[in-house]
């Protein structure tokens, strides 16, 4: 994809803005223990493979042996516990992330797009104060759309011409391609990708590229 002048930036959350592995893993295991499963059933390394996926897919991957109705109930419990957990067990922002956002927001409209459940991005804003840098946000829990659909939704809503999506996993790359957006690989995050338009090893690298 030949790069024209990027006019906006869209950011993934987990593995791109912050590392929430520890807090979310503890939230998962709290719910699993409450439902009669060993509290150590889920490890951070296993959880990292699920970041970026819609919630129902995560449930299928992590709880395949659980009947559908029970799995849905557990996932709903987890959404509640996760929201509470993030507010008290705050994940770490990646080093230099806020500095990069502050400077980038002076040049570009910035957005957050995630496959998370409804309320997760709002929790991110509440505990970090990063909302002042972003013009808008949307997630799978808000619209029911996959990530590529939400990239297109935001592109159309704000009349963007050449947006770039900043993400860390293969699914982010594929969603960007489907939506016609450029892809910037946050290589410091959770996954490897097959291709990208630009690559960064830390958030501050964005200031050198854009």
List CB contacts of 189: < 8 A, sequence separation 6 or more. Answer: 12, 15, 16, 167, 168, 169
At residue 39, the pLDDT reads 61
Range of the domain at 77: 21-88
Looking at the fold, whether 66 and 168 belong to one and the same domain comes out as no
Distance (Å, rounded) from C-alpha 73 to C-alpha 54? 16
Domain tally for the chain? 2
Looking at the fold, whether 75 and 59 belong to one and the same domain comes out as yes
Whether the model pTM is above 0.75 = yes
Distance (Å, rounded) from C-alpha 168 to C-alpha 54? 15
CATH of the domain at 59: 1.10.150
Distance (Å, rounded) from C-alpha 155 to C-alpha 149? 10
At residue 7, the pLDDT reads 96
In terms of Cα–Cα distance, which of 133, 130, 131, 117 is closest to 85?
117
At residue 71, the pLDDT reads 87
Give the burial string for 167-182 (b: 16+ CB within 10 Å, else e). bbbebbbbbbbebebb
Looking at the fold, whether 14 and 104 belong to one and the same domain comes out as yes
At residue 105, the pLDDT reads 98
In a domain, 74, yes or no: yes
Q: Are 78 and 31 in contact (CB under 8 A)?
A: yes
Mean pLDDT by 10 residues, the chain (210 residues): 83 95 88 80 84 83 86 88 87 97 98 92 95 97 95 98 97 97 96 94 96
């Amino acid at each position: 994809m030949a790069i024209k002048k990027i006019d906006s930036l869209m950011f993934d959350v987990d593995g791109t803005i912050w590392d929430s592995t520890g807090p979310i893993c503890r939230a998962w295991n709290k719910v699993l223990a409450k439902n009669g499963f060993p509290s150590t059933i889920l490890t951070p390394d296993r959880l990292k493979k699920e970041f970026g996926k819609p919630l129902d897919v995560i449930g299928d991957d992590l709880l395949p042996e659980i009947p559908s109705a029970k799995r849905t109930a557990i996932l709903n419990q987890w959404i509640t516990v996760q929201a509470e957990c993030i507010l008290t067990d705050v994940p770490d922002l990646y080093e230099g992330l806020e500095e990069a956002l502050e400077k980038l927001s002076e040049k570009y409209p910035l957005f957050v797009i995630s496959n998370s459940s409804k309320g997760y991005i709002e929790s991110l804003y509440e505990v970090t104060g990063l909302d002042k840098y972003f013009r808008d946000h949307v997630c799978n829990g808000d619209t029911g759309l996959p990530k590529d659909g939400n990239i297109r939704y935001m592109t159309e809503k704000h009349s963007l011409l050449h947006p770039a999506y900043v993400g860390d996993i293969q699914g982010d790359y594929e969603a960007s391609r489907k939506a016609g957006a450029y892809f910037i690989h946050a290589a410091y995050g959770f996954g490897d990708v097959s291709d990208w338009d630009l690559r960064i090893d830390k958030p501050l690298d964005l200031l050198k590229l854009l």
